[in-house]
Protein backbone atom coordinates (compact mmCIF):
# COMPACT_ATOMS: atom_id res chain seq x y z
CA UNK A 1 0.00 0.00 0.00
CA UNK A 2 1.45 3.32 -1.07
CA UNK A 3 0.67 5.70 1.76
CA UNK A 4 2.46 8.58 0.11
CA UNK A 5 0.32 8.20 -2.98
CA UNK A 6 -2.82 8.12 -0.85
CA UNK A 7 -1.73 11.23 1.01
CA UNK A 8 -1.11 13.17 -2.22
CA UNK A 9 -4.36 12.07 -3.74
CA UNK A 10 -6.27 13.04 -0.60
CA UNK A 11 -4.54 16.43 -0.47
CA UNK A 12 -5.36 17.16 -4.10
CA UNK A 13 -8.94 16.15 -3.76
CA UNK A 14 -9.49 18.06 -0.52
CA UNK A 15 -8.01 21.22 -2.00
CA UNK A 16 -10.51 21.11 -4.82
CA UNK A 17 -13.50 20.96 -2.52
CA UNK A 18 -15.39 24.30 -2.43
CA UNK A 19 -18.21 23.85 0.04
CA UNK A 20 -18.85 22.27 3.39
CA UNK A 21 -21.30 19.67 2.04
CA UNK A 22 -18.73 18.33 -0.30
CA UNK A 23 -16.13 18.25 2.40
CA UNK A 24 -18.42 15.99 4.41
CA UNK A 25 -18.52 13.50 1.53
CA UNK A 26 -14.79 13.58 0.94
CA UNK A 27 -14.18 13.17 4.65
CA UNK A 28 -16.23 9.98 4.61
CA UNK A 29 -14.31 8.70 1.60
CA UNK A 30 -10.96 8.98 3.37
CA UNK A 31 -11.59 9.01 7.07
CA UNK A 32 -15.05 7.42 7.41
CA UNK A 33 -15.63 4.04 9.06
CA UNK A 34 -15.23 2.35 5.70
CA UNK A 35 -12.94 4.95 4.21
CA UNK A 36 -9.55 4.39 2.65
CA UNK A 37 -7.59 4.96 5.88
CA UNK A 38 -9.85 2.53 7.73
CA UNK A 39 -9.06 -0.08 5.05
CA UNK A 40 -5.36 0.30 5.80
CA UNK A 41 -5.96 -0.32 9.48
CA UNK A 42 -8.08 -3.34 8.58
CA UNK A 43 -5.31 -4.77 6.46
CA UNK A 44 -2.87 -4.67 9.39
CA UNK A 45 -4.32 -7.79 10.95
CA UNK A 46 -2.88 -9.97 8.18
CA UNK A 47 0.66 -8.68 8.62
CA UNK A 48 3.62 -9.96 10.63
CA UNK A 49 4.12 -8.24 13.95
CA UNK A 50 7.11 -6.04 12.96
CA UNK A 51 5.47 -4.91 9.76
CA UNK A 52 2.23 -4.31 11.58
CA UNK A 53 4.00 -2.00 14.01
CA UNK A 54 5.78 -0.01 11.32
CA UNK A 55 2.82 0.32 9.01
CA UNK A 56 0.50 1.01 11.93
CA UNK A 57 2.61 4.00 12.96
CA UNK A 58 2.78 5.34 9.44
CA UNK A 59 -0.97 4.92 9.03
CA UNK A 60 -1.56 6.86 12.24
CA UNK A 61 0.62 9.72 11.01
CA UNK A 62 -1.16 9.64 7.68
CA UNK A 63 -4.53 9.77 9.38
CA UNK A 64 -3.48 12.82 11.38
CA UNK A 65 -2.12 14.54 8.30
CA UNK A 66 -5.30 13.97 6.33
CA UNK A 67 -7.33 15.24 9.28
CA UNK A 68 -5.25 18.40 9.20
CA UNK A 69 -5.85 18.82 5.46
CA UNK A 70 -9.55 18.77 6.18
CA UNK A 71 -9.30 21.27 9.03
CA UNK A 72 -7.22 23.55 6.88
CA UNK A 73 -9.59 23.34 3.93
CA UNK A 74 -12.63 23.93 6.13
CA UNK A 75 -11.09 27.12 7.45
CA UNK A 76 -10.32 28.33 3.95
CA UNK A 77 -13.85 27.64 2.77
CA UNK A 78 -15.30 29.54 5.71
CA UNK A 79 -13.00 32.49 5.09
CA UNK A 80 -13.88 32.80 1.43
CA UNK A 81 -17.56 32.49 2.29
CA UNK A 82 -17.39 35.42 4.68
CA UNK A 83 -15.30 37.38 2.19
CA UNK A 84 -17.95 36.87 -0.46
CA UNK A 85 -20.58 37.89 2.06
CA UNK A 86 -18.66 41.02 2.90
CA UNK A 87 -18.32 42.12 -0.69
CA UNK A 88 -21.81 41.24 -1.84
CA UNK A 89 -23.72 42.26 1.28
CA UNK A 90 -21.89 45.47 1.90
CA UNK A 91 -23.99 48.22 3.51
CA UNK A 92 -24.64 50.95 1.00
CA UNK A 93 -24.55 54.08 3.11
CA UNK A 94 -25.63 56.23 0.17
CA UNK A 95 -29.05 54.54 0.01
CA UNK A 96 -31.93 56.66 1.30
CA UNK A 97 -33.09 55.53 4.73
CA UNK A 98 -36.48 54.19 5.71
CA UNK A 99 -38.86 57.08 6.15
CA UNK A 100 -39.97 57.78 9.69
CA UNK A 101 -43.65 58.39 10.18
CA UNK A 102 -44.14 62.05 11.07
CA UNK A 103 -46.99 63.51 13.03
CA UNK A 104 -49.27 65.93 11.25
CA UNK A 105 -52.16 68.24 11.98
CA UNK A 106 -55.79 67.23 12.20
CA UNK A 107 -57.94 68.52 9.31
CA UNK A 108 -59.92 70.68 11.73
CA UNK A 109 -56.72 72.24 13.05
CA UNK A 110 -55.59 72.91 9.49
CA UNK A 111 -58.89 74.59 8.66
CA UNK A 112 -58.86 76.69 11.85
CA UNK A 113 -55.27 77.82 11.36
CA UNK A 114 -55.95 78.73 7.77
CA UNK A 115 -59.16 80.60 8.52
CA UNK A 116 -57.69 82.52 11.44
CA UNK A 117 -54.75 83.61 9.34
CA UNK A 118 -56.99 84.95 6.62
CA UNK A 119 -59.09 86.95 9.08
CA UNK A 120 -55.96 88.25 10.78
CA UNK A 121 -54.73 89.66 7.50
CA UNK A 122 -58.06 91.50 7.29
CA UNK A 123 -57.47 93.16 10.63
CA UNK A 124 -59.34 90.77 12.92
CA UNK A 125 -57.83 89.99 16.29
CA UNK A 126 -58.15 86.51 17.83
CA UNK A 127 -60.22 86.38 21.02
CA UNK A 128 -61.33 83.47 23.15
CA UNK A 129 -63.83 82.61 25.88
CA UNK A 130 -64.73 79.73 28.21
CA UNK A 131 -66.44 76.53 27.04
CA UNK A 132 -68.24 76.33 30.36
CA UNK A 133 -70.53 79.34 30.23
CA UNK A 134 -73.36 80.96 32.13
CA UNK A 135 -76.90 81.32 30.96
CA UNK A 136 -76.39 85.10 30.94
CA UNK A 137 -73.61 85.16 28.37
CA UNK A 138 -74.84 82.25 26.29
CA UNK A 139 -78.48 83.43 26.04
CA UNK A 140 -79.68 86.49 28.01
CA UNK A 141 -77.02 88.95 26.89
CA UNK A 142 -77.57 87.79 23.32
CA UNK A 143 -81.21 88.75 23.45
CA UNK A 144 -82.40 85.15 23.35
CA UNK A 145 -85.92 85.11 24.83
CA UNK A 146 -86.44 83.25 28.12
CA UNK A 147 -88.75 80.77 26.44
CA UNK A 148 -86.57 80.16 23.37
CA UNK A 149 -86.54 76.44 22.52
CA UNK A 150 -82.73 76.43 22.19
CA UNK A 151 -82.49 76.79 25.96
CA UNK A 152 -84.44 73.66 26.78
CA UNK A 153 -83.19 70.19 27.55
CA UNK A 154 -83.16 69.24 23.88
CA UNK A 155 -80.37 71.54 22.82
CA UNK A 156 -78.34 72.65 25.78
CA UNK A 157 -76.14 70.67 28.11
CA UNK A 158 -76.99 72.18 31.49
CA UNK A 159 -74.66 71.51 34.37
CA UNK A 160 -75.56 70.51 37.90
CA UNK A 161 -75.33 73.85 39.58
CA UNK A 162 -72.94 72.91 42.38
CA UNK A 163 -69.74 73.72 40.55
CA UNK A 164 -66.57 74.80 42.25
CA UNK A 165 -67.27 78.28 43.60
CA UNK A 166 -63.83 79.42 42.59
CA UNK A 167 -64.40 78.68 38.95
CA UNK A 168 -67.91 80.09 39.13
CA UNK A 169 -66.49 83.38 40.42
CA UNK A 170 -64.12 83.54 37.49
CA UNK A 171 -66.74 83.26 34.79
CA UNK A 172 -69.93 84.70 36.25
CA UNK A 173 -71.31 88.17 36.55
CA UNK A 174 -73.28 89.54 39.48
CA UNK A 175 -77.05 90.01 39.15
CA UNK A 176 -77.05 87.93 36.00
CA UNK A 177 -78.22 84.34 35.54
CA UNK A 178 -75.30 82.27 36.73
CA UNK A 179 -76.79 78.95 35.72
CA UNK A 180 -74.01 76.93 34.14
CA UNK A 181 -74.07 75.25 30.76
CA UNK A 182 -71.71 74.14 28.02
CA UNK A 183 -71.77 77.00 25.54
CA UNK A 184 -73.98 76.20 22.54
CA UNK A 185 -72.19 78.71 20.33
CA UNK A 186 -69.20 81.07 20.34
CA UNK A 187 -71.42 84.17 20.28
CA UNK A 188 -71.12 84.79 24.07
CA UNK A 189 -67.50 85.82 23.45
CA UNK A 190 -68.84 88.86 21.56
CA UNK A 191 -70.32 90.17 24.79
CA UNK A 192 -67.36 89.19 26.96
CA UNK A 193 -65.01 90.97 24.60
CA UNK A 194 -67.08 94.14 24.33
CA UNK A 195 -67.26 94.36 28.13
CA UNK A 196 -63.54 94.94 28.25
CA UNK A 197 -62.73 96.53 24.88
CA UNK A 198 -63.95 99.70 23.26
CA UNK A 199 -64.87 99.86 19.57
CA UNK A 200 -63.84 100.14 16.85
CA UNK A 201 -63.05 96.46 16.99
CA UNK A 202 -62.73 93.38 14.85
CA UNK A 203 -62.43 89.97 16.45
CA UNK A 204 -62.39 86.39 15.29
CA UNK A 205 -63.13 83.71 17.91
CA UNK A 206 -62.33 80.04 17.37
CA UNK A 207 -63.87 77.58 19.79
CA UNK A 208 -65.60 74.37 20.64
CA UNK A 209 -69.35 74.34 21.18
CA UNK A 210 -71.80 71.75 22.48
CA UNK A 211 -75.33 70.73 21.55
CA UNK A 212 -77.47 68.12 23.21
CA UNK A 213 -78.47 66.57 19.88
CA UNK A 214 -78.60 63.25 18.11
CA UNK A 215 -75.64 62.92 15.76
CA UNK A 216 -75.88 62.31 12.03
CA UNK A 217 -73.75 62.98 8.95
CA UNK A 218 -74.14 66.75 9.39
CA UNK A 219 -74.45 67.11 13.16
CA UNK A 220 -72.19 66.30 16.06
CA UNK A 221 -72.89 66.93 19.76
CA UNK A 222 -69.63 68.82 19.85
CA UNK A 223 -68.15 70.84 17.04
CA UNK A 224 -66.20 74.00 16.24
CA UNK A 225 -67.28 77.50 15.39
CA UNK A 226 -65.54 80.60 14.26
CA UNK A 227 -67.25 83.73 15.49
CA UNK A 228 -66.64 87.10 13.91
CA UNK A 229 -67.56 90.54 15.13
CA UNK A 230 -66.84 93.92 13.64
CA UNK A 231 -68.02 97.09 15.37
CA UNK A 232 -67.46 100.56 14.01
CA UNK A 233 -69.34 103.76 13.21
CA UNK A 234 -70.48 102.91 9.73
CA UNK A 235 -70.65 99.20 9.18
CA UNK A 236 -73.21 97.76 6.85
CA UNK A 237 -74.34 94.41 5.52
CA UNK A 238 -72.34 95.25 2.37
CA UNK A 239 -69.13 95.27 4.39
CA UNK A 240 -70.09 91.93 5.81
CA UNK A 241 -70.79 90.41 2.42
CA UNK A 242 -67.51 91.71 1.00
CA UNK A 243 -65.47 90.35 3.89
CA UNK A 244 -67.12 86.95 3.82
CA UNK A 245 -66.73 86.64 0.06
CA UNK A 246 -63.08 87.58 0.33
CA UNK A 247 -62.60 85.08 3.14
CA UNK A 248 -64.25 82.23 1.24
CA UNK A 249 -62.33 83.00 -1.92
CA UNK A 250 -59.02 82.86 -0.09
CA UNK A 251 -60.00 79.88 2.03
CA UNK A 252 -61.18 77.67 -0.83
CA UNK A 253 -58.69 79.17 -3.29
CA UNK A 254 -61.53 79.17 -5.80
CA UNK A 255 -64.80 80.89 -6.38
CA UNK A 256 -67.23 79.03 -4.20
CA UNK A 257 -70.81 79.80 -4.97
CA UNK A 258 -72.63 81.20 -1.94
CA UNK A 259 -76.08 82.57 -1.30
CA UNK A 260 -77.45 84.79 1.43
CA UNK A 261 -80.89 83.94 2.73
CA UNK A 262 -82.88 85.93 5.23
CA UNK A 263 -82.66 84.21 8.59
CA UNK A 264 -83.51 84.78 12.19
CA UNK A 265 -81.22 85.09 15.18
CA UNK A 266 -82.23 86.99 18.33
CA UNK A 267 -78.84 88.73 18.49
CA UNK A 268 -78.91 90.19 14.98
CA UNK A 269 -81.34 92.31 13.03
CA UNK A 270 -81.56 91.77 10.15
CA UNK A 271 -80.17 88.22 10.09
CA UNK A 272 -78.87 86.07 7.26
CA UNK A 273 -77.95 82.52 6.66
CA UNK A 274 -75.19 81.73 4.23
CA UNK A 275 -75.13 78.56 2.19
CA UNK A 276 -72.27 77.26 0.05
CA UNK A 277 -72.56 74.94 -2.91
CA UNK A 278 -71.08 71.49 -2.38
CA UNK A 279 -69.31 69.38 -4.99
CA UNK A 280 -72.54 67.44 -5.56
CA UNK A 281 -74.39 70.69 -6.36
CA UNK A 282 -76.42 70.73 -3.14
CA UNK A 283 -76.47 73.77 -0.88
CA UNK A 284 -75.09 73.45 2.62
CA UNK A 285 -75.56 76.02 5.36
CA UNK A 286 -72.16 77.18 6.58
CA UNK A 287 -72.84 80.23 8.69
CA UNK A 288 -75.32 82.50 10.39
CA UNK A 289 -74.81 86.26 10.43
CA UNK A 290 -76.42 89.62 10.76
CA UNK A 291 -76.25 93.19 11.99
CA UNK A 292 -75.68 93.25 15.73
CA UNK A 293 -78.90 93.81 17.69
CA UNK A 294 -78.80 96.95 19.90
CA UNK A 295 -79.72 94.80 22.92
CA UNK A 296 -76.41 92.97 22.56
CA UNK A 297 -74.48 96.24 22.71
CA UNK A 298 -76.56 97.24 25.71
CA UNK A 299 -75.84 93.98 27.50
CA UNK A 300 -72.14 94.59 26.98
CA UNK A 301 -72.51 98.15 28.32
CA UNK A 302 -71.91 100.01 25.07
CA UNK A 303 -73.48 103.31 24.09
CA UNK A 304 -75.94 102.64 21.30
CA UNK A 305 -77.50 106.01 20.54
CA UNK A 306 -77.73 105.03 16.89
CA UNK A 307 -80.54 107.45 16.26
CA UNK A 308 -78.27 110.39 17.03
CA UNK A 309 -75.81 109.04 14.51
CA UNK A 310 -73.06 108.68 17.09
CA UNK A 311 -73.61 105.11 18.12
CA UNK A 312 -71.76 102.03 17.23
CA UNK A 313 -73.02 99.45 14.85
CA UNK A 314 -71.62 96.20 13.66
CA UNK A 315 -72.05 92.84 12.09
CA UNK A 316 -71.41 89.39 13.46
CA UNK A 317 -71.21 85.92 12.02
CA UNK A 318 -70.75 82.37 13.22
CA UNK A 319 -69.16 79.85 10.86
CA UNK A 320 -69.32 76.08 11.27
CA UNK A 321 -65.65 75.11 11.09
CA UNK A 322 -66.48 71.46 10.57
CA UNK A 323 -68.63 72.37 7.62
CA UNK A 324 -65.78 74.35 6.09
CA UNK A 325 -63.66 71.23 6.45
CA UNK A 326 -66.32 69.05 4.82
CA UNK A 327 -66.51 71.44 1.88
CA UNK A 328 -62.79 72.00 1.52
CA UNK A 329 -61.82 68.34 1.65
CA UNK A 330 -65.01 66.96 0.07
CA UNK A 331 -65.85 64.84 3.08
CA UNK A 332 -69.45 63.75 3.37
CA UNK A 333 -69.74 62.86 7.05
CA UNK A 334 -68.85 65.17 9.95
CA UNK A 335 -68.43 62.20 12.29
CA UNK A 336 -65.24 61.18 10.46
CA UNK A 337 -63.60 64.25 11.97
CA UNK A 338 -64.03 62.90 15.49
CA UNK A 339 -63.43 59.17 15.16
CA UNK A 340 -59.63 59.33 15.10
CA UNK A 341 -59.45 56.64 12.46
CA UNK A 342 -55.85 56.82 11.20
CA UNK A 343 -56.84 55.61 7.74
CA UNK A 344 -58.87 58.80 7.43
CA UNK A 345 -56.49 61.17 9.21
CA UNK A 346 -53.39 60.05 7.31
CA UNK A 347 -54.79 61.67 4.18
CA UNK A 348 -54.19 65.17 5.50
N1 LIG B 1 -74.56 81.57 17.06
C2 LIG B 1 -75.25 81.10 15.88
C3 LIG B 1 -75.37 79.60 15.93
O4 LIG B 1 -74.65 78.97 16.64
C5 LIG B 1 -74.52 81.52 14.65
C6 LIG B 1 -74.54 82.99 14.47
C7 LIG B 1 -75.57 83.61 13.79
C8 LIG B 1 -73.54 83.77 14.99
C9 LIG B 1 -75.60 84.95 13.60
C10 LIG B 1 -73.55 85.13 14.80
C11 LIG B 1 -74.60 85.70 14.09
O12 LIG B 1 -72.60 85.92 15.27
O13 LIG B 1 -74.61 87.06 13.93
O14 LIG B 1 -76.16 79.04 15.20
Domain-embedded: residue 333: yes
Q: Does residue 268 contact residue 314 with C-beta atoms inside 8 Å?
A: no
Dist CA 201 CA 198 (whole Å): 7
Dist CA 68 CA 72 (whole Å): 6
Domain-embedded: residue 67: yes
Same domain assignment for residues 54 and 163? no
Domain-embedded: residue 316: yes
Same domain assignment for residues 261 and 328? yes
Q: In the predicted model, is pLDDT for residue 200 greater than 90?
A: yes
Residue 1's pLDDT is 67
Domain-embedded: residue 97: no
142 dihedral zone (left: phi>0; alpha: psi -120 to 50; beta): alpha
Q: In the predicted model, is pLDDT for residue 310 greater than 70?
A: no
Ligand 1 nearest atom to the CA of residue 287, by list position: 5
- How far is residue 316 from each of residues 110, 289, 307, measured CA to CA in Å? 23, 6, 20
Tell me if 227 CB under 6 Å of ligand 1. yes
Ligand 1 nearest atom to the CA of residue 227, by list position: 12
Q: In the predicted model, is pLDDT for residue 20 greater than 90?
A: no
Same domain assignment for residues 116 and 150? yes
Same domain assignment for residues 146 and 253? yes
pLDDT tens-digit series, residues 243-284:
999 999 999 998 788 899 999 999 999 999 999 888 788 898
Same domain assignment for residues 163 and 40? no
User: Could you give the strand order of the β-sheet that contains 222-232, starting from the edge strand earlier in sequence?
Assistant: 125-126, 201-210, 222-232, 313-320, 283-292, 268-277, 258-263
Tell me if 316 CB under 6 Å of ligand 1. yes
Dist CA 107 CA 329 (whole Å): 9
Domain end (from 28, 57, 88): 88
- Residue 54 makes CB contacts below 8 A (sequence gap 6+) with none
What is residue 338's three-state secondary structure? helix
Domain that holds residue 61: 3-88
What is residue 315's three-state secondary structure? strand
Same domain assignment for residues 52 and 197? no
What distance in angstroms lies between residue 109's CA and the mean position of ligand 1's atoms?
21
pLDDT tens-digit series, residues 137-149:
999 999 999 888 8
Q: Does residue 259 contact residue 251 with C-beta atoms inside 8 Å?
A: no
Residue 174's pLDDT is 62
Domain-embedded: residue 100: no
Query: Confidence band (pLDDT; 50, 70, 90) for 163?
Result: low
Q: Which CATH number does the domain housing residue 152 bear?
A: 3.30.930.10
Ligand 1 nearest atom to the CA of residue 288, by list position: 7
Residues in the chain: 348
Domain-embedded: residue 193: yes
Section 332-336 average pLDDT: 90
- Residue 76 makes CB contacts below 8 A (sequence gap 6+) with none
The total of structural domains in the chain comes to 2
Residue 147's pLDDT is 87
Query: Confidence band (pLDDT; 50, 70, 90) for 305?
Result: low
Q: In the predicted model, is pLDDT for residue 286 greater than 90?
A: yes
pLDDT tens-digit series, residues 96-120:
988 888 889 999 999 999 999 999 9
Residue 127's pLDDT is 98
Share of the chain above pLDDT 70, in %: 93
Average pLDDT, the chain: 90
Same domain assignment for residues 268 and 302? yes
Which pTM value belongs to this model? 0.71
Same domain assignment for residues 169 and 295? yes
Q: Output the residue whose Cα is nearest ligand 1's atom 10.
A: 317
Domain-embedded: residue 95: no
Same domain assignment for residues 128 and 178? yes
* Residues 248, 253, 254: CA angle, nearest 5 degrees: 80
Same domain assignment for residues 159 and 48? no
Q: In the predicted model, is pLDDT for residue 306 greater than 60?
A: no
Domain end (from 88, 117, 139): 88
Q: Output the residue whose Cα is nearest ligand 1's atom 14.
A: 288
Tell me if 210 CB under 6 Å of ligand 1. no
DSSP string, 46-90: GS-HHHHHHHHHHHHHHHHHHHHHHHHHHHHHHHHHHHHHHHHT-
Same domain assignment for residues 203 and 81? no
Domain-embedded: residue 102: no
Q: Output the residue whose Cα is nearest ligand 1's atom 7.
A: 288
Amino acid sequence: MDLQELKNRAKQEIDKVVDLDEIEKTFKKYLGKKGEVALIFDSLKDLAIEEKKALGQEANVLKQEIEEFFEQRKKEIKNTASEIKQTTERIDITRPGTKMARGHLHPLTLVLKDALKIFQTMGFEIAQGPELETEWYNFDALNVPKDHPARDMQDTFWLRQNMSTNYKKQITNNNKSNKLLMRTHTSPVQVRYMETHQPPLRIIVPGRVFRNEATDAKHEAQFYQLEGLMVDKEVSACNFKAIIEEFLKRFFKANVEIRLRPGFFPFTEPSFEIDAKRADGKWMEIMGAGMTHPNVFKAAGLNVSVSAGHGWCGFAFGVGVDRLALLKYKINDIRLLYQNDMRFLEQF
